[in-house]
């Protein structure tokens, strides 16, 4: 009787194991890659160099705080496979010139779509387009007349990315370079000597919006990042170290502006799964 019970118990274990394996196969086969999201939240220090001749004809330099949030995932359109990225970053800082202090706050929101090209087993090149929405303000409280200079720009940019996987001690490290260059768009700028009261109070805004292109607004943004897996294999945590250079320039209405930000950030990479049974697909990544 005991022998029969052992056989029955062994049979039940085999059936349960077979069912579990089949369930895992079904989950793996039914993965929708666009539901796997890689999210990175980074913080760091930025070196700032600001010039805005609407406020002052001199450079203001100082330090700032930089926050960057990135979402990266696969996206499918028709028969082509694409990568989709969204970026949001904020830089706030205090810059100085002698005894004069300038406060700045800039924010950017980017939407990017890329087509990937596999080069060997480790290198992946991505080429695509990006929509950029940027805004912010510079403020010098010691100025007599013009205290604030507002910034607003919408642009279509070319964007490229190179992703390289480096195996170190059996673990995958990822080096990445990204370059974004605005090509065309619209930007806001007051005329030389024009106050914001004239623009918004009296409605004199005829010459405040301009077509932005690389000749009157040569700007670019490039990012170098390195992902380092830390922790154990069971509880893998990925640390990201980044250098972000955001170089904005413009010359319209006899006003010159440059906003240079060199940020050094660190953050953690999280892989999110929009499915209930996430364990069988933790090896997948859109990178």
pLDDT at 145: 79
- Structural contact between residues 194 and 260, judged by C-beta atoms closer than 8 angstroms: no
- This prediction has a pTM of 0.81
**248 φ/ψ angles, rounded to the nearest 5 degrees:** -110, 135
All structural domains of the chain with their residue ranges: 1-30, 35-281
Q: 164: closest CA among 155, 175, 153?
A: 175
Report the pLDDT averaged over residues 226-245. 84
pLDDT in the model for residue 45: 97
H or E element in which residue 13 lies: helix 2-29
Neighbour tally for 167: CB within 10 Å: 9
C-beta of residue 89 within 8 angstroms of C-beta of residue 69 = yes
Cβ atoms < 10 Å from Cβ of 168 = 9
Of the candidates 275, 233, 227, 269, which has an alpha carbon nearest to the alpha carbon of residue 33? 275
Superfamily of structural domain 35-281: OPCA outer membrane adhesin/invasin (2.40.128.100)
73-98 pLDDT, tens digit each: 888 766 668 899 999 999 999 999 98
Strands 36-52, 255-273: parallel, antiparallel or unpaired by DSSP? antiparallel
pLDDT for position 33? 54
Tokens read off for 206: 């005829």
The pLDDT tens digits for 11-40 are 434 433 333 333 333 233 344 555 678 899
């Amino acid at each position: 009787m005991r022998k029969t019970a052992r056989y029955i118990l062994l049979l039940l274990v085999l059936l349960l194991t077979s069912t579990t394996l089949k369930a895992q196969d079904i989950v793996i086969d039914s993965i929708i890659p666009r539901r796997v999201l890689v999210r990175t939240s980074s913080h760091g220090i930025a070196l700032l160099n600001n010039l805005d001749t609407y406020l002052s004809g001199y450079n203001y330099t100082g330090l700032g705080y930089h926050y960057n949030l990135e979402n990266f995932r696969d996206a499918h359109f028709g028969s082509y496979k694409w990568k989709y990225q969204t970026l949001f970053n904020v830089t706030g800082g205090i810059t100085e010139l002698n005894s004069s202090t300038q406060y700045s706050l800039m924010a950017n929101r980017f939407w990017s779509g890329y087509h990937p090209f596999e080069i060997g087993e480790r290198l992946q090149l991505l080429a695509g387009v990006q929509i950029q929405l940027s805004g912010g303000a510079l403020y010098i409280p010691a100025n007599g007349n013009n205290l604030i200079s507002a910034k607003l720009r919408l642009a279509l940019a070319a964007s490229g990315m190179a992703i390289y996987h480096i195996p170190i001690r059996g673990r995958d490290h990822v080096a990445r370079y990204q370059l974004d260059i605005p090509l065309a768009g619209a930007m806001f700028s007051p005329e030389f000597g024009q106050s914001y009261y004239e623009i918004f109070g009296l409605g004199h805004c005829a010459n405040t919006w301009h077509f932005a292109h690389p000749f009157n607004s040569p700007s670019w943004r490039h990012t170098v990042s390195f992902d380092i897996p830390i922790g154990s294999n069971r509880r893998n945590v990925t640390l990201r170290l980044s250098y972000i250079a955001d170089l904005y320039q413009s010359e319209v209405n006899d006003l010159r502006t440059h906003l240079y930000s060199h940020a050094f950030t660190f953050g953690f990479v999280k892989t999110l799964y929009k499915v209930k049974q996430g364990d069988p697909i933790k090896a997948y990544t859109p990178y």
